[in-house]
Amino acid sequence: MTYLIVHLIHIFSVFIYGGFLFTDNLFLSKMKRDLSEQEHSKVREYFMKYVRKLVPKSLIVAVLSGIYLILVNFGEISDEGLSNFQIVLLLKAFLGLWLGVRGVLQVFFGINPLVFKSHIVPFILVIIIIFLSQIMFSV
């Protein structure tokens, strides 16, 4: 029962974080074409006012619940080494932890870390993580 609850919390928090990245990259960034710079800045700041309250917390919840899910699902390493499932799970965990560290450094410490300043790379990484989560049980 604990696993199910943590898994649902994880999925919900990932939806919040991924939904923000989806909205920012596919809608807010495209509004520059139709709005003046001042209008776009005002719309974006209004949006970010609410995002800043929820998204960083949901990212932390996603990372912490993801760590629990990894510990439960990883299993033992056999004599032959890591299974394909374990390799994909480790890759997914690395990308998720990297996003989590980046988010915590940026939001809570004001550090714009690790090269990029936009949300395009985190958006792409979330898509990769979703893709990995769909194939990891069948590899």
**Alpha carbon distance 131, 21 (integer Å):** 16
Between 103 and 8, name the one with better pLDDT.
Answer: 8
- Residue 8, pLDDT > 90, answer yes
Average pLDDT over the chain, rounded to whole? 89
87, pLDDT greater than 90: yes
Predicted confidence (pLDDT) per residue in 23-56, tens digit: 888 888 888 888 888 988 898 888 888 888 898 8
Structure tokens that stand for 135 in this block: 């194939």
Tell me phi and psi for residue 114, to 5 degrees. Answer: 55, 55
pLDDT at position 116 over 70: no
Domain ranges within the chain, ordered by starting residue = 2-135
Lowest model confidence (mean pLDDT) among 7-21, 90-104, 106-120: 106-120
